[in-house]
Chains A and B, each alone.
Chain A
């Protein structure tokens, strides 16, 4: 309370007001500092050293401290600090290792007061004692900290950090004798100013350099540190060992850190690289900044709160050569843009949904969840903390359970396990998978497999004919057929599909081929009745004839192979043959029109297959889409863009892994053709081996442990090192190569190692 009154007096005597404003500096700033009464700010950098007055509407340049025609390197500042007791006193840290003090009360143009050139390397930080007028502390790249008494010409004590590079030094606000120093190697040391021989305590705060630290202005035990590892940590120093009490993960290395006055849990940070914003964090809410200031166009190098008891004004200097005054009320509040809703599906179709409580309760007459009507509303309440200024959102979490029978996923697991994706000829794979689907009572899927087989089977493989000799005889008839199928199938397939969709699903329940052929007959009736088709015969005949005679020479070469070729030509000669030897599967479709599908190249069906795949994927059966994709392989791969494929693969693999079907998932990864997918099982392939004897890790130097000089896991039968599967008896723990042990056990029941144990293997 007492403090509060002091604040009000401090404020009323010199009321701070202003607005968000900025001014251009001539050069990038490295650091800024503000004088005690918050009316002036000093900006220092390599090529700038100026004092600006903070007025209501603007910054006004008061003084340029960089004087002389050729300013020496002593003016090239890495850091600056304005004394908080003595308003004419400033100190700067120069990049050449000098520590300079400046007295604004000097009448001459050059205000330089004292010059200390004791550090050998760049001085990173200077810090005045908060209550002692003449005490100045510096921290340098050379690993030393020095304490100066400004009444003397040289340092009074030197503190050796025993390490390279001190990055920051800060006097404690409350403990008169204590200061903290942060180091490039990640350590933070606490020193007693009276004891330069040895630090009081040391702890490792970050991995990599600790760029900054700041004592809490009110709480004596709290020290905040920021490092290159992008972390801000708050340490409680009152305990025996410094304890990390808060940790904030930012997106870039933390260059400066400053506690916000009058707000116990707030601190401001800025970064040294890439990120130009200033963030104010509530350390208790580490995942989202409390406020951000986004004005700067280059990295912010200095931040300071304008008045030590006013939390509403923040000043900042930047490499973009501007000096800003930020008003807290103008800050961006990221939390307002955050989405407090969450939604997630469980493995078995359960659905969890968290949303603002207000949203849920207002929605009383919402439709019941169709899958199941059980629902557990769980409410989370965070005890509202009056000091916490975050907008309070209390969320309600609802879990919707699906009815066990309506949506259970056994079929998925079974299908995944039973499907064959490779290793056999295409037709057999299709048949097998069709059968699997059939057994799981999924006739539509089963039919799809069969159809695929028909569409993409390579007829050339089924029968071997001498293509050359009957070429001429076919010239007359074949083009007809081809042109027909070419032009007709386009409309036909669309027709077929639309029918398939309009048909209710349950008509499929009846298993068997008869049903399918029925469908086909149905379709084909309409096909047959179309007059257009006949009309096309004549038209096409001519075209194709010409085409055919032109291509005649190449024909013999092309004939025997490719099905994938886009020209329908190579398949012509098969037509007759397939008609003569009807094959079961073909008969399904070719009942009424035997001339049909087998003669078309697989590529012709690609658009249909593609649509089919997309259809399944959209229905949520990504399993089907991926399985077909793999089985069809090259036949279809080019038709579907890589991103979609990758997306399907990822979804399917994710599902498989959630069901713990590791083997299947690995097979899918292996068989996929997307580079992004195949590399999934290339990562982290290292196996770490421990010696079976001394249980310590083996380095990769062959099979002898370099600690106990024993061969790792020797086979009891052949006395060689086992480099693959090792099987051992759980009774006597002797074992060896799987094969050797199996052979051994055929002839003897005793342990091969001769220990006399009657080994048992299951």
Chain B
């Protein structure tokens, strides 16, 4: 096993990319350690600083939920994706905040109020589009026992969504256990994050891939310009819907083998068989799509979050903003490239996997820009993060820098967070109506 924070990225790569020292010092001073997540994220320090701020506000600052509860909710959420890294991180945080140790040995020891989150947690992790008004009502309405207040609930929802998407990042970047974790330097049965590390072998046609992608991006941009000028070749709505549906229901083979996960995590999960399910091909009772124009983060989600949990909306908004604007104007060995269309395609593809559709986006470009191995990676990380393997990580974008792959991971993580948040927020809005 290589040293360094990630099982996928050689440690000398991390050093070469030269993370910003200051931000690491700052996080060391505030956390007392620089954990592996921070080290990998430090490749994009603009993002790291607002990520740390949000995490700090979620877990440490004033809020409606007691501190140990916050960690416990994060544990419950991380356990759904069998992410032993986060479970252990938050277990430590939970005990530090004065939580009772027995809770960690199983869900049945936790208070009923926390356990009542299980359904929401399950849906949020795997099929958020099923979250409806009555799920909120069950927890919040005056008759509910134990009853959640709206502020508590929204805090819990954000905590869960945060933890779920962070799981995607942990698995997607192959974050290795901390030294004090099981599977770190402690002797214990190995964590499932152990991966056969295949050497990063550039293949001959790898160079070709980059060139092809570059060409396609340029073509696509020109095409759009042309369309403006000629205004013909306009797709029918039928065609647009078909393109969206095709992306959404395209069967991307993701790993199917279930890992035998740690027993300590199994005890924190209820109904472990509940997973992300591919959308049925069109016609077969496809769940309704959410139209981005009808409920968006900018117009609706933000206001709701900020109303119930002051400042949190601002922090999340900033984080989404930073991720969607993050670019170094380069691609693999090319400099000065406008990667906007590629980033947009990634973001919208993930939203598409979660059933969110933009009327004003042509999903045909997803197919053009995202090659199959990348789609496999994105879908695995976004929907079944626990099945990510080094092979999946290595086989896409073979000529890209590791930092660029981490960038892709960040986009996946944030797009997933936003997509997953929108459904419960919409349900809460409907409940408040």
Report A's interface with B, CB cutoff 8 A.
46, 70-74, 76, 78, 94-97, 116-122, 141, 153-154, 165, 184, 208-209, 211, 228, 252-253, 272-274, 276, 297-298, 679, 682-683, 699-702
Contact = CB atoms under 8 A, between A and B. Distances in A.
Contact of B234 (A117, A141, A272, A679): A117
Contacts of A208: 302, 317
B195 to A, nearest CB: 36
Nearest to A122: B360
Contact of B237 (A70, A78, A209): A70
Given A118-B228, A701-B25, A228 B303 contact: yes
Nearest to B240: A73
B277 interface: no
Nearest to B61: A683
Given A122-B359, A228-B303, A701 B237 contact: no
B335 interface: no
B67 to A, nearest CB: 11
B293 A122 contact: yes
A683 B62 CA distance: 8
B145 interface: no
B231 A117 contact: yes
A289 to B, nearest CB: 19
Contacts of A253: 299, 303
Contact of A95 (B231, B303, B359, B432): B359
B30 A700 contact: yes
Given A72-B237, A122-B293, A700-B26, A274 B432 contact: yes
A172 B406 CA distance: 48
A701 B30 CA distance: 10
B222 interface: no
Contacts of B429: 273-274
B22 interface: yes
A110 to B, nearest CB: 15
Interface in B277-322: 291, 293-294, 298-300, 302-304, 307, 317
Contacts of A121: 360-361
Contact of A154 (B29, B231, B432): B231
A122 B360 CA distance: 5
B433 interface: yes
A548 B303 CA distance: 66
Contacts of A94: 359
Interface size class of B (residues with CB under 8 A): 20 to 34
A154 B231 CA distance: 9
Contacts of B237: 70-74, 96
B299 A272 contact: yes
A141 B360 contact: yes
Given A228-B303, A274-B303, A699-B26, A184 B293 contact: no
Given A73-B359, A273-B429, A679 B227 contact: no
B132 to A, nearest CB: 17
Contacts of B303: 228, 252-253, 272-274
A78 B432 CA distance: 24
> What 9 A-B pairs come out closest when comparing CB atoms?
A95-B359, A72-B237, A273-B303, A121-B360, A95-B293, A96-B359, A97-B360, A122-B360, A73-B237
Contacts of B30: 700
Contacts of A73: 237, 240, 359
Given A208-B302, A274-B304, 11 more contacts: A72-B237, A117-B227, A119-B360, A121-B360, A153-B231, A211-B299, A273-B303, A274-B429, A700-B30, A701-B26, A701-B29
Contacts of B294: 46
B293 to A, nearest CB: 4
Contact of B236 (A72, A228, A679): A72
B238 interface: yes
A135 to B, nearest CB: 20
Nearest to A94: B359
Contacts of A119: 360
A76 B300 contact: no
Nearest to A97: B360
B224 interface: yes
27 contacts: A46-B293, A70-B237, A70-B238, A72-B237, A73-B237, A76-B293, A78-B293, A95-B293, A96-B237, A96-B240, A96-B359, A97-B360, A117-B227, A117-B234, A118-B228, A153-B231, A165-B298, A208-B317, A211-B299, A228-B299, A273-B303, A273-B304, A273-B307, A274-B429, A679-B62, A683-B62, A700-B26
Nearest to A121: B360
Contacts of B293: 46, 76, 78, 95, 122
Contacts of A95: 291, 293, 359-360
A273 B304 CA distance: 7
Nearest to A320: B433
Q: Which of A116, A121, A273, A297 has the most CB of B within 10 A?
A: A273
Contacts of A298: 433
Contacts of A116: 231
A96 B362 CA distance: 9
Contact of B29 (A141, A274, A700): A700
A700 B361 CA distance: 44
Nearest to B22: A701
A272 B361 CA distance: 24
Contacts of A97: 359-360
B187 to A, nearest CB: 36
Contacts of A76: 293, 359
A273 B299 CA distance: 8
A679 B61 CA distance: 11
A94 B361 CA distance: 13
A209 B298 contact: yes
Contacts of A683: 62
Contacts of A74: 237
Interface in B335-372: 358-361
A247 to B, nearest CB: 19
Given A46-B291, A73-B237, A701-B29, A96 B304 contact: no
A78 B303 CA distance: 20
Contact of B224 (A120, A153, A276, A679): A120
Interface string B220-251: 00001001100100101110100000000000
Contacts of B224: 120
A120 B223 CA distance: 12
A121 B224 CA distance: 12
Nearest to A251: B307
A485 to B, nearest CB: 41
A122 B307 CA distance: 27
Nearest to B432: A274
Contacts of A96: 237, 240, 359-360
Contacts of A141: 360
A54 B291 CA distance: 32
Interface string B360-401: 110000000000000000000000000000000000000000
Nearest to A207: B314
A276 B432 CA distance: 11
A656 B218 CA distance: 70
Nearest to A96: B359
A119 B237 CA distance: 16
A211 to B, nearest CB: 8
A701 B304 CA distance: 36
Nearest to A119: B360
Interface in B11-50: 22, 25-26, 29-30
A502 B300 CA distance: 63
A9 to B, nearest CB: 42
A273 B301 CA distance: 9
Question: Which of A117, A165, A252, A683 has the largest count of B CB atoms less than 10 A from its CB?
Answer: A117
Nearest to B236: A72
Contacts of A276: 433
A121 B304 CA distance: 25
B26 A228 contact: no
Nearest to A683: B62
Contacts of A679: 62
A683 to B, nearest CB: 6
